[in-house]
Amino acid sequence: MAHDVDNIKVIYRLLESYLNTNYKILTEAGELTLKIGQQQPLLDAILKPLSGATDNWAIISAHNPGSEVQTTATNKHSNQLMEARIAALGLSYWQETAGDCQHDFPDEDGFLIAGISSQQLAELAIDFGQNAVVYGRLSSSARLLVFPQVWKSIQKLTELPEFVDLYSPAKDNIGE
């Protein structure tokens, strides 16, 4: 029983870390910082001309799958593989760095992707072992999308914090 309680504490601590992270994106208009639960008008202005068939966007990294810290070389190689997959999808993307404000976890490089579908995002996240990604739509607040297919213990929670959603293949989380 104590093990489950500890697990729940770890889950909430990790969720808190995701929610308190600064996501810094380097764009043609300069660096912008995004936080979960906040709208970002500058991001909307950058992405709106690129929205095409969908106004969805996401931030994802291949670093530290399953929140298990990897070597710098391993993370760099994984991100190169992810970048190749994103480029093959033909989507616009920018470099991004996520920095945990509490400094409990190392910074992670990743990508802001414009116009990504729920299915494309889920495939990338699950294939690269990511517990969660940041996602949103134009003119909406950034949210955290958790993948129980990877982060199985997340299902122990009876209630999720505000701005956190569980991915379900049965519904289009991004397109809501």
Q: What is the pLDDT of residues 5-60, one digit of tens each?
A: 358 888 888 899 899 999 999 888 788 999 999 998 888 888 888 766 568 999 99
pLDDT value, residue 1: 35
Q: What is the mean pLDDT of residues 170-174?
A: 65
Q: What is the mean pLDDT of residues 85-96?
A: 94
Query: Is the pLDDT at 96 greater than 80, yes or no?
Result: yes
Q: What is the pLDDT of residues 117-168, one digit of tens each?
A: 889 999 999 999 999 999 999 999 999 999 988 888 888 888 888 999 988 8
The candidate with the shortest Cα–Cα distance to 132, out of 152, 113, 117, is 152
The answer to whether the CB of 53 falls within 8 A of the CB of 117 is no
Dihedral sign for Cα 102, 116, 110, 25, please. negative
Q: How confident is the model at residue 103 (pLDDT cuts 50, 70, 90)?
A: low
Burial of 47 (0-12, 13-18, 19+ CB in 10 A): buried
DSSP E strands, 28-107: 30-34, 56-60, 93-100
Q: Which residues are within 8 A (CB) of 87 and not within 5 positions of it... i.e. 6 or more apart?
A: 93
pTM for the model stands at 0.88
pLDDT value, residue 4: 47
Residue 83 burial (CB count, 10 A): 16
Q: What is the mean pLDDT of residues 170-176?
A: 60
